[in-house]
Structures are given as structure tokens and as C-alpha cells.
A and B are shown apart, each in its own frame.
Chain A
Amino acid sequence: MTGPHGGAPDEGIGRRRFLGYVVAAPTLVAAAELVPPAPPAAAAPAPAGLPELTELLDLNDVMTAAALPTSALISVEVRPDGTVAFALPRAEVGQGITTSTAMLIAEELAVPLERVRVTLADARPELLFNQLTGGSNTTISTYVPIRVAAAIARDRLLAAAAAELGTPVTGLTMKAGMISDRSGRTIDLGALAEKAASTRTQQVSVRLAPRESFTVIGRPHNRVDARDAVTGRKKFTMDLDIPDARPTMVCRPPTINGKVGSVANLAEVRAMPGVTDAVVISTGVAVRAETFGQCIDAVRALKVTWRPGTTAGKSDESVLRELHAAELPMGLRPPTPVVEGAFTFYFRSNSALEPNCAIADVRDGRAEIWSSLKSPIVAQQAIAAKLGLPVGKVTVHVTEGGGSFGRRLFFDAALEAAEVSQKLGKPVKLMWHRADDSRQGRTHPMAISRVRVSYLGDTVLGYKQRHTSVSTDLGHGLGEIFTALAARLPVGDIGFSQTFFHLSQAMSYDFGITSRLLAETDKSFNTGSMRNVYSPDVTCARELIVDQLAARMGKDSYRFRHDFLGDERSRAVLAKVAEAGGWGRPMQPGTAQGIAFHAEYKSVSACLVEIDCRPETVNRPIRDGVGGPRVTKAVFAVDVGLAVNPRGLEAQMMGGIMDGIALALTSSLHLRDGYFLEASWDNYFYTRQWNAPPDLRIIVMPSTSDQPGGAGELGVAASMAAVACAYGRATGTMPTSFPINHGTLSFTPKPTVPPIPPSPADGLNGGGASA
């Protein structure tokens, strides 16, 4: 065949043939297995000396390889109306994977992007490991299989068109959803959808579109859901109209994971206006009402006696002592000069703007769940176990999520909604109040990180880092219940988190003999992987020490990094931000630049920021918020190998920068007396417009690979580190505790009983005025 997707010779992926299927169906359905895109990296020659684990195999290789023996098919369907449908077995939570997936299909099928309909697949237990959205792995693991399925559909359509037009396939071209022959006759894909269908399932082989013919992949594209988002039509879980699913909230304990002792006034609360039900559940007292406003009133009216929770009496100070006690020894100080530092990272919230929520309908021996879930198979299995139902009787629909940042790896609200619905025998639309989401929701665990670098002259001899953290709950495993259970075992979990830590932490600098170890302690908190997991803290500690080391050797911070980075891709992103950001330009006293580097997910990144720490800036008045130092400029360079959608990639980096600013400067949870003081967005200081850099530039590097790397979490680590380094330079003191304003409590804590604040009533009288 010829035309834009003809069989021209190609490098790498394009040269190989891939196997897939045409599936028996009334209309054309083409399918592929989710197979790893590359041969196992373990076959690569081991580098000399002590090999870095990440050089042999990284987390994405494990996740991709885990899929191999167990994966089932994913399929592309061409419909008679000319649209192409694909149910993506991943969660869209804002990272743009429905758009990038539609681009892959549009590329192979030469169909306009508007005709591709990407939906989110229900939980499919047969996919086993292959339905976890995490580790920034979606594009890495689906890039080839989705294209294979689409390419098989393309070949079938071309064959059907050839038969229809009486023209050999070699005389046909595909463009804009039409197939034409040399005499100008055309047929729309939709008209071929049934003719190209197969009555039996058959295996076929296919070549993918060669990279030099790409017209969609690698070009910036706006999001496919943007119009729905800006018109209010985009539907999130709480926007779904499920019959009789009434608003439901839970009255929660004043301390983390406390339990209900007794309730004094259940009957009274049941009789409140709009309230239909009130019932004790394992996490508190659930109320169901006609409106969420009436749920809020009912929760506040409940008189509950609570039993203490899992963190009774704990505070920032006591957890810090636990962490120091659990720290692994650094070993004897070498006789050479060393640079050392110890850093503290307080608890942080991964609360998304859409709070934890789920709809559940559990009646008549079956359950149906709607929620944004990144591990829907584990959710389905855990819900079935909780309800005492066979897994096959539990249907789990994955809805579009209003952000994740790690939150949607777990399914706390879905499990709770299922329990309430079963107890009441009625459908429920369950939502956590923001105060619950802040105080009882999952957190990024508090951690300390100690770094020691030994050097002699211009040579770095060794790098040691001991990262000690409150346990990170990785109980979602790799997305399937057996690995999830393994992660919960006392021994298995240590192995699992250690493995995760080592697979995600690359040592990019030529720093001689390196040793980095993770120790975890204390499982009493509700934790989870927050966007970029260990890397922002680990990288921030490392980059601050790198600045110290450079100073000790009398070298410029940028030049030092450039000299010690081990490969060309890494040096290129660093050099790019230094050049584009004007590294080394004269700065006013109290202002400074910072530069940092981070590699993960088969991608490399560098960030340069400028910060203003002058008193008039730091102390600018902000109502119900924190000003503090202002990052006035950020320049970020990213190389993900192959960028499928550069515009989406830029968006992810921008978000990562805002996270990095928050982690370095303003956002943390304060633990006192067994609970977090923060109860809403006026307490928890995520980056706001007044903190955001007015000058921001993202540079997507030219593709350096045939394979896409991960991007959803990538931007956070280098950004946090660059802000910390800039702050240290501007103030003349290396910061050692994050965020830097944690020592100042910038709000009045809300009460814990009742657990949620009253709804304000001053909205017409200037309350919370917009600006």
C-alpha cells in the first residue's frame, strides 16, 4: 500500500511486525494485547563498577513486564457512523491521556481526531496488572498496543475498500477518515465499518505507521474534553444522575481513624428536614438526605461519642523523633572532606479539588459503583470482599476524575459508599466534606533525608543518602488484589516500598560510589503515593547538597551539574534552561536564581527559577492565604524521548512547577494531638495565583527516542529543588525544613467537633468577596 501510511522503511518500532486480532463482531473491531514495547532491559550489558538498579530496570519496566503473561485484549471499534471507539483501561484525572490516546488512534487510522471517541473502561479483572494508572506509565505501556489495534483496523478497512472499488490496496490512500483511489473515488470509513467486520476472530500481523509519516503524534493538540470542560458539560462522579442516588455524607471522628462509640441522637437526626437515613458505619455515622446542604446540617447535629484513633497523641515533634530513631546509619565518616545535610519534610495533603466521592447501588445481591479509580480491579475485589458478594456481581465504572495527585490510587469513598448502600438498601451519592478530605484523607508521609558526599580536589568519591519516612501505603500494589495483599504483609510491604524506592530513584551524577536507602516506620497514618512519590523530597535534599558541594569546590552551580551529569540528554536539558533562563545574570539583593535536575520515567528534566525573598514581597498582605517568597520566573526543559502531545506535556510540567513551589514554600499539614489542623483550602496553602510565577516558560526538547517516556509526575522534583536552591541563595542560608513556612501557623484551626464547619450565609453580603 502507498499513501501517507505506506510501507516505507522505518527505524525501530516501524520496522517490526506486531500481532493482533480482528475480532468477530457485527462491525469492525480490531484488538491487540498490552505487551511490552521493548525487549527486557535486563539483557543490556551491565555498566562497569557498581550498577545502578535504575540503569538495569526501572519501575516502568517492571510495570510493563508485569503485564506480559496475563494481559487480555484491548480493542478499537470502527462504527457505521464513521466514529472510532476505544475504551481506555486507565483513569483520566486531568493528565490528558484521553487526548493522547485519541491522537495515537487518529495517527494510525488517518481519521480526524474529532471522530475518535475515547471512554474509560469499567474494571476488567482479566487485565490483572494492566489497569493501574500510576507511575506515569500510561503512555509508556499503551503507546504500541493502541497503535497496533488501530493499524489492524486500518489494514482491514483498506482491504474492504479495495474489494468495494475493485482497486488494489496499493492504489489506495487514507486521509481524513476517507479512503480514495487514483481515479478520485472515495469511501468514508463508516461506510466500510460493517463490510470490514469479521465473522470469526483471527490473528493478523501488522506494521505501524513509520515515524517520518506522522501527522498527529508529536504535534501539539488541544484536549479533546476542553469544550465540555469550559461549558460545564464535563461530568464528574457527583454530576451523574443515577436514579435515587441521594446525597450522603459521613460524620467523622475528631482524631485520625477514630471509631464510633455511641450515638445519642440518631432518631432525632433522621427526622431533620430532608434527611432520609442515618446509620453507623465502620468509619463514622452516615447520613443521606435530599441535598448535600442538609447532609452537612445533619452531620453537624449528630452527637457521637468517639473511641480514639490510630494516631492518638501524636504530633509533628513526636513523629520527628520516631523518624530519627528509625534512621539507618550512615557509617563512619571518611577521612576525606565531606559535605553533609539533614532535611525534614512535613506531612502534605494530596487532596484533589474534587473530594473523595463515589456513587454506589448495592441491592438484590449485586453492586454497581461509579468513581474515579486508578486501581479499579483492586477496588472491585475489595468491595466484593467487604460486601460478601462474588466479584462478578460487582460492576465498577471508572468516571472522569477532578484531579488525583495520588488520591485516586485508593478507593476509600467507593468502599464506604458500598457499605452505606448495602446497610440502607438504597443507592447513595457519597461525598467527603472538604474538612474530611483534609483531615482524614490520605497524606504524603512526613520524612527526613540525610545526605553525605565525600570528595577530594575536583573528584566526588561517594554519595550516601538515608531517606526515612512514615510508611507510604502502596496497598494498591500494581493494580491487582494479589500484589495489593502482598504489599500489606509486614515483610512484603518493606520489600515492596524498598523496591519502589530504588526503581524510582536514578543517580544521574557521576558521584563515585553511591548508596541510597529507604527506611519506613509507623503505619498508623492514612498515607499514599503523592504525585512523584519519594522523588521531590529526595531530589530536593540532593540538589541542595550539590549546591553546597559546588560552592566548596569553587564551582558555579550550573557548571558543576553540567560537568557531573553522565549523559548527553541530561546535559542538554540543563544547558537549555541555563541559556533560556539567563543563568548567572546579576540579581538584586534578596533575590536569586536556582537550578536543579531530575530524571525519572525514562525522561529527563531541568528547572531554573528566580525567587524574590525581599521583606516587602514576603510580607505582602494576603487575606486568608500566605504570600511568602515569590517565584517570579520559572524555566523548565523536558525531554520525554518522544512527546506524543507537546501541548499536553507542557501542561503537565506547568502543574508540576506549581506543586514544586507549594512543596518548597507553603503547603503542609500540621499534626497536633493526633489530628491534622488543616481543614480546608484557607488552611492548606497550595500554590495560588499570588504565588504563581508571572513569567513561565516550558521547553519541550526535540525527540530523542522512538519511545515516549512518562510525564504526569515528572515536573515536581526538579521544580521543588530549584525553588529550594534559589531560596538558599537569596537568603544566604540553606533551608533544611520544608515547606519553609511550616514553623508559622498562618490560620486559626477549625474545631474538630462537629467535624465539618457550618455553611456560610453571607454570600450576598460580600462574604469571601472574589478579589
Chain B
Amino acid sequence: MPEHTFRVNGEQVTVNVADDVRLLWVLRDVLGITGPKYGCGINVCKACTSHLNGKAVNPCAIPVGELRPTDEVTTIEGLATGEDLHPMQQAWLDHDVAQCGYCQPGQIMAAVALVERVAAEGRAITDEDLDGIRNICRCGTYFRIREAIRAGAANM
């Protein structure tokens, strides 16, 4: 069985699993990191959204064999440092966004990546940016997500 080494939430990990197993299952079924959720397995619902080297990606579409030892995977569990919440998580609490909560780790990871991308472009979040978020929330928390992203962005 091939060995794969990469970084997850600040730690180096090595797993023994076939090259083509998608990262989502390596995280969930092998490493027991269950924040990223399964919602479709074909990269359309975005419930598994995590960060790879600071950019939003969907682990359900990444064969583990494509990761390099220096690649840094960040899941919702690794977003905050220590006990302090990330400003976006705090904004989520302040706006009481979550209902069932299933899609929310992916929503928060997508929101953080969006705010960072927009900031890198030197501009403020627009309605069009928010319209472009593809993460599905079947509980329909979209409006509170929009409010929380604007509030979280102000504190990032």
C-alpha cells in the first residue's frame, strides 16, 4: 500500500492508502477528521470545502496521491488557533447562522477563502460575490450567511 505524507491542520501526517482514494475519505475514514462533510461526492454541494495552502478546495475531488509532503490541508477543525475562534466562526455565532449545522463547516471555509480572495484583489465584498457562493444549505440559512460574512470580513 502506498504511503502519502502531507500536512493537516498544522501537523505532518502519513497514511497508507491507495493513490486514487479521494482526500475526503482519507480525512474522514482514515484520519477521523469529520468536520468536512459528504453531501454529493462530485464537487457540487461544497459541504466538504476545506483549504489547501490557503485556497478553498473540495477534498471529494482530490486523489490523495496528488498531495505533496509540503501541502497544508486546513479543515474546519484547524481554522482557529487554540481556543479562540476565527473571526468568521465568531460572526457565525453572533448571527446564529447554523440550523442543522451539516453544511456549515464548508460554508465557513468557503466564506474565509472568499473574503481573503476579495481582500487580495483590494476590494470589498459585493452582493455578486455572495451570490457566487456555491455551497448548498438545505435549511436555507443563506440570509444569515450573507450577514455573517460581511461581519466576519470586517474583523479578519
Interface residue A654 (Cβ < 8 Å from any Cβ of B): yes
Contact at B85–A292, with CB atoms within 8 Å? Answer: no
A336 to B5, CA, bound (A): 80
Partner of B61, one of A400, A681, A688, A762: A762
Q: Mark A739-771, 1 if CB is under 8 A from B, else 0.
A: 000000000000000001101111110011011
Interface residue A325 (Cβ < 8 Å from any Cβ of B): no
| B residues near A690, Cβ cutoff 8 Å | 131-132
Contact at B92–A230, with CB atoms within 8 Å? Answer: yes
| A residues near B135, Cβ cutoff 8 Å | 689
Given A232-B76, A658-B140, also A354-B37 (CB < 8 A): yes
A225 to B42, CA, bound (A): 29
Contact at A231–B76, with CB atoms within 8 Å? Answer: yes
Partner of A238, one of B38, B42, B93: B38
CB distance from A592 to the nearest CB of B (A): 21
| B residues near A94, Cβ cutoff 8 Å | 99-102, 139
A223 to B99, CA, bound (A): 8
Contact at A274–B47, with CB atoms within 8 Å? Answer: no
| B residues near A353, Cβ cutoff 8 Å | 37, 39, 45, 47, 100, 102-103, 136-139
Contact at A655–B141, with CB atoms within 8 Å? Answer: yes
| B residues near A767, Cβ cutoff 8 Å | 43, 61
Given A94-B101, A402-B102, A688-B134, also A647-B108 (CB < 8 A): no
Partner of B25, one of A225, A236, A292: A292
A184 to B113, CA, bound (A): 53
Interface residue A668 (Cβ < 8 Å from any Cβ of B): no
Contact at A232–B17, with CB atoms within 8 Å? Answer: no
Contact at B143–A654, with CB atoms within 8 Å? Answer: yes
| A residues near B142, Cβ cutoff 8 Å | 654, 658, 687-689, 692
| A residues near B132, Cβ cutoff 8 Å | 689-690, 771
CB distance from B98 to the nearest CB of A (A): 4
**Which residues from 17 to 57 on chain B have a C-beta closer than 8 Å to any C-beta of chain A?**
17-18, 20-26, 28-30, 32, 34-47, 49, 52, 56-57
Given A229-B101, A681-B45, A686-B136, also A696-B61 (CB < 8 A): no
Interface size class of A (residues with CB under 8 A): 35 or more
Q: Mark A355-385, 1 if CB is under 8 A from B, else 0.
A: 1000000000000000000000000000000
A234 to B104, CA, bound (A): 10
Nearest CB to that of A757 among chain B residues?
A: B42
Interface residue A341 (Cβ < 8 Å from any Cβ of B): no
Nearest CB to that of A661 among chain B residues?
A: B140
Nearest CB to that of B34 among chain A residues?
A: A239
| A residues near B89, Cβ cutoff 8 Å | 230-231
Interface residue A114 (Cβ < 8 Å from any Cβ of B): no
Contact at B32–A222, with CB atoms within 8 Å? Answer: no
A757 to B35, CA, bound (A): 24
Nearest CB to that of B71 among chain A residues?
A: A764
Partner of A770, one of B17, B20, B45, B114: B114
Contact at B22–A759, with CB atoms within 8 Å? Answer: yes
Contact at B61–A761, with CB atoms within 8 Å? Answer: yes
Contact at A402–B101, with CB atoms within 8 Å? Answer: yes
| B residues near A434, Cβ cutoff 8 Å | 39-42, 45
Dominant secondary structure of chain A at its interface with chain B: loop
Interface residue A523 (Cβ < 8 Å from any Cβ of B): no
| B residues near A681, Cβ cutoff 8 Å | 39-40, 44-45, 136
Interface residue B146 (Cβ < 8 Å from any Cβ of A): yes
Contact at A680–B42, with CB atoms within 8 Å? Answer: yes
Q: Mark B61-79, 1 if CB is under 8 A from A, else 0.
A: 1110010000000011100
Interface residue B11 (Cβ < 8 Å from any Cβ of A): no
Interface residue A591 (Cβ < 8 Å from any Cβ of B): no
Partner of A230, one of B37, B108, B134: B108
Given A353-B39, A657-B140, A770-B114, also A291-B30 (CB < 8 A): yes
CB distance from B16 to the nearest CB of A (A): 10
| B residues near A405, Cβ cutoff 8 Å | 138
| B residues near A431, Cβ cutoff 8 Å | 38
| A residues near B108, Cβ cutoff 8 Å | 230
Interface residue A241 (Cβ < 8 Å from any Cβ of B): yes
Nearest CB to that of A771 among chain B residues?
A: B132
Contact at B93–A227, with CB atoms within 8 Å? Answer: yes
**Which residues from 649 to 665 on chain A have a C-beta closer than 8 Å to any C-beta of chain B?**
651, 654-659
**Which residues from 677 to 720 on chain A have a C-beta closer than 8 Å to any C-beta of chain B?**
680-682, 686-690, 692-694, 696
Interface residue B96 (Cβ < 8 Å from any Cβ of A): yes
Contact at A232–B35, with CB atoms within 8 Å? Answer: yes
| B residues near A128, Cβ cutoff 8 Å | none
A146 to B67, CA, bound (A): 52
Interface centre among B101, B105, B114 (most CB of A within 10 A): B101
Contact at B104–A229, with CB atoms within 8 Å? Answer: yes
CB distance from A48 to the nearest CB of B (A): 41
**Which residues from 337 to 360 on chain A have a C-beta closer than 8 Å to any C-beta of chain B?**
351-355
Nearest CB to that of A694 among chain B residues?
A: B127
Interface residue A60 (Cβ < 8 Å from any Cβ of B): no
| B residues near A656, Cβ cutoff 8 Å | 140
Interface residue A273 (Cβ < 8 Å from any Cβ of B): yes
Nearest CB to that of B48 among chain A residues?
A: A763
Partner of A234, one of B29, B101, B138: B101
Contact at A273–B100, with CB atoms within 8 Å? Answer: no
Partner of B98, one of A230, A401, A654: A230
A757 to B80, CA, bound (A): 34
CB distance from B40 to the nearest CB of A (A): 4
A310 to B132, CA, bound (A): 40
A402 to B56, CA, bound (A): 23
| A residues near B117, Cβ cutoff 8 Å | 771
CB distance from B43 to the nearest CB of A (A): 4
Contact at B143–A696, with CB atoms within 8 Å? Answer: yes
Nearest CB to that of B127 among chain A residues?
A: A694
| A residues near B156, Cβ cutoff 8 Å | none
CB distance from B156 to the nearest CB of A (A): 15
Contact at A222–B93, with CB atoms within 8 Å? Answer: yes
| B residues near A479, Cβ cutoff 8 Å | none
Interface residue A403 (Cβ < 8 Å from any Cβ of B): yes
| A residues near B146, Cβ cutoff 8 Å | 689, 692, 694
**Which residues from 87 to 119 on chain B have a C-beta closer than 8 Å to any C-beta of chain A?**
89, 92-93, 96-105, 108, 110, 113-114, 117
By Cβ-Cβ distance, the 8 closest A-B pairs, closest first, are A232-B35, A658-B140, A94-B100, A763-B61, A402-B102, A229-B101, A768-B43, A232-B76
Beyond the given A236-B37, A681-B136, A768-B134, could you list 5 further A-B residue pairs with CB under 8 A, ordered by the A residue number?
A222-B93, A231-B76, A274-B21, A403-B139, A651-B96
Q: Which residues of B come within 8 Å of A, CB atoms?
A: 17-18, 20-26, 28-30, 32, 34-47, 49, 52, 56-63, 66, 75-77, 80, 85, 89, 92-93, 96-105, 108, 110, 113-114, 117, 127, 129-146
List 24 contacting pairs A-B, 8 Å CB cutoff, sorted by A: A94-B100, A94-B102, A229-B92, A231-B77, A232-B36, A235-B34, A236-B37, A238-B38, A353-B39, A403-B100, A433-B41, A651-B141, A655-B140, A658-B140, A682-B44, A686-B138, A688-B136, A689-B130, A689-B135, A689-B142, A759-B41, A761-B22, A763-B62, A770-B46
